[in-house]
Amino acid sequence: MPIMRAMVLDRPGTPLVMRERPLPVAGAGEVLIEVKACGVCRTDLHVVDGELTHPKLLVVPGHEIVGRVAAIGAGVGGFSIGERVGVPWLGATCGVCPYCRSDAENLCDAPVFTGYTRDGGYATHTVADARYCFALGEHGDDAEIAPWLCAGLIGWRSYRMAGEGKAGKDMTLGIYGFGAAAHILAQVASWQGRRVFAFTRKGDAAAQEFARSLGAVWAGASDELPPEPLDAAIIFAPVGALVPAALKAVKKGGRVVCGGIHMSDIPSFPYALLWEERHILSVANLTRTDAREFLEIAPKAGVSCAVTRYPLARANEALSDLRDGRLQGAAVLVP
């Protein structure tokens, strides 16, 4: 029997374990994918650490998958064997709930999430619903584009929400937490002529220098005020205290977008910080439209990801490095 290998989560709070399994079969509407690279997202940490409380168990994490189509199930059109494809967090939606029917499939009432409620890409192979896979073409290295599939897509959706209603070219944008998503988004926003202000942990000179090298016009600590008020701010770090900090930094009518799936509690703050029509928003998941837009713009903007590669068997080490802030850019597993 042909086999695959996967890093499996048996129980939140325990390390992933390498397991061999029978190679899965692509069912109707599915494709079997040979994984070439899978990015390590902060959401994977929230799954492994038990902060996201409803994983399928056992589960194979990973939702920034770049691979090649190895088998095609019945009824799948539009993909060919050997084609390079990407699989994001949004694994499937119901198609019939009020959200799916109103262009908000990211809020679907019965969604499937890759690497959370269905097996993901910390593996040599994975099966995905073909309708939620994206052709990636042949441009770019597998590992270097893997972070596009979540850090890129969620960053893009957050950015769109930050800019909605004031898409001016001279928009000033703050980014709190300069990890994988921020390092991609800073490149896109600067390429579009927006001025990016990067906020990092206090004293993290390396991250501030990294942000400047990717186009940020200013970089400082998250408890500092930027040199000018911001039109909008996006928070990627999972730290609730950054919400009042970002509200202080945005101008009247400004938006504070929380881009993560999990955040520590937001401390109470004076109403004056929210007053004058400042907004706080969260971003949940992605739509396929977000993905198509980002995958079109990223190559044009020349987005290049700084990645640290880990062999699949060292997934636990990659997660620890991300948890402890030892990474610049993104971690990527390579089977």
CB of 119: closest distance to Zn ion in angstroms?
15
Q: In this structure, what token pair is assigned to residue 32?
A: 């079997």
Nearer to Zn ion, 88 or 140 (CB): 88
How far apart are CB 305 and Zn ion at their closest, in Å?
A: 14
Q: Which residues contact 101 (CB under 8 A, 6 or more apart)?
A: none
User: Residue 152 is encoded by which pair of tokens?
Assistant: 């890129």
Q: What is the DSSP string of 285-299?
A: S--HHHHHHHHHHHH
Nearer to Zn ion, 239 or 331 (CB): 331
Select the residue interacting with Zn ion from 61, 93, 125, 132 (CB under 5 A): 93
Q: Which two tokens stand for residue 73?
A: 């199930």
Is position 286 an interface residue for Zn ion (rule: CB under 5 A)? no
| Residue 132 φ/ψ, nearest 5 degrees | -115, 15
| Interaction of residue 94 with Zn ion, rule CB under 5 A | yes
Minimum separation from the CB atom of position 99 to Zn ion (A): 5
Q: Does 100 bind Zn ion (CB under 5 A)?
A: yes
Angle 288-300/180-191 helices, nearest 10 degrees? Answer: 60
Q: Under the criterion CB under 5 A, does residue 41 sit at the interface with Zn ion?
A: yes
CB-based contacts of 275, cutoff 8 Å, min separation 6: none
Distance CA 234, CA 243 (A): 9
What backbone torsions phi and psi does residue 294 show, to the nearest 5 degrees? -65, -40
Of 1-9, 47-55, 148-156, 226-234, the segment contacting Zn ion by CB under 5 A is 148-156
The single residue among 18, 70, 97, 266 that binds Zn ion, judged by CB under 5 A, is 97
Residue range at the interface with Zn ion (CB under 5 A); choices 11-19, 33-41, 72-80, 184-192: 33-41
The contact set with Zn ion (CB under 5 A) reads 41, 43, 93-94, 97, 100, 108, 150
